[in-house]
């Protein structure tokens, strides 16, 4: 996106990037990042470790503030909406 900002594909690339961010943050049905099925809601330890690794290695990434937002609000039912709204600001 940086190298070809005027590409005809830039909008579709941005959409795909946002989808990858959401998959990374929330996970998929078979690999969620947080446990919500029980009374105790938590982020899996391996995901916390990965998020911390990512933020340390890529502190200026547009995904870093989304990680923080997710970690602070993962218990919220509408976490996907919060993340999407934040993505639109970036």
pTM: 0.88
Q: How many CA atoms lie within 13 A of 2 on its CB side?
A: 1
User: What are the residue ranges of helices labelled H in the chain?
Assistant: 10-26, 45-57, 63-73, 79-89
The DSSP bridge pattern shows strands 31-32 and 34-35 to be: unpaired
Tens digits of per-residue pLDDT, 34-71? Answer: 987 777 889 999 999 999 999 999 999 999 999 999 99
Tens digits of per-residue pLDDT, 11-24? Answer: 999 999 999 999 99
């Amino acid at each position: 996106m940086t190298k070809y900002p005027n590409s005809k594909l830039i909008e579709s690339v941005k959409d795909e990037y946002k989808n990858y961010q959401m998959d990374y943050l929330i996970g998929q049905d078979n690999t969620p990042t947080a446990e919500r099925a029980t009374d105790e809601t938590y982020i899996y330890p391996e995901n916390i470790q990965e998020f911390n690794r990512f933020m340390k290695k890529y502190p200026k990434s547009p995904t870093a503030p989304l990680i923080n937002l997710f970690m602070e609000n993962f218990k919220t039912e509408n976490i996907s909406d919060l993340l999407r709204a934040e993505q639109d600001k970036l």
